[in-house]
Amino acid sequence: MKKIEAIIRPERLEQVKKALEESGFVAMTITEVLGRGEQKGIKLQYRGGTMEVDLLPKLKLEIFLPDKDVDTVMETICNSARTGKFGDGRIFVSPVEKSGRVRTGELDINDSESITVAKQPEDAASSSAIKA
């Protein structure tokens, strides 16, 4: 299993989401971040003066997926996020040792194996609140 972190322009989010959905990848986490890359910020003209903006708003997409899908997702993100200008973003791929699903208690050891841990008994207070 791998984790893809992609830093993209905020205005390209809808194109990236749509392209990923069309490729069959719908699960993702999106975080608003500030950063700068090779462009080292930008200079803006404001009320007759020059203003330097050092950190630019970006979005970070996090996607967890099987190893076999990494190239497809990287290509999809690159093609849909690209404007051809500085600041289009970067993509990073990291290994994921384990993952688990909280709702079901399923713990994924790797792409092919999984085990399920015993479910905890329901809290009496929460079950009575639901029934009421």
**Average pLDDT rounded to a whole number, residues 94-102:** 91
pLDDT at 117: 56
CA–CA gap between residue 6 and residue 93 (Å, rounded): 9
Q: Are 30 and 61 in contact (CB under 8 A)?
A: yes
Alpha-helical segments (H) within the chain: 13-22, 70-81, 124-131
- Given the structure tokens 């700068």, which residue do they identify? 36
CA–CA gap between residue 132 and residue 14 (Å, rounded): 42
Length of the chain: 132
pLDDT at 46: 77
Q: How far is CA 50 from CA 17, 43, 44, in A?
A: 35, 6, 6
The model's pTM is: 0.76
Q: 45-68 pLDDT, tens per residue?
A: 777 888 777 888 999 999 999 999
pLDDT at residue 78 is higher than 60: yes
Q: Could you give the domains of the chain? A: 2-96 (3.30.70.120), 97-132 (no CATH)
Give the 3-state secondary structure of residue 73: helix
Q: Where are the beta strands (DSSP E) in 9-117?
A: 29-35, 42-46, 49-53, 56-65, 89-95, 99-100, 106-108, 114-116
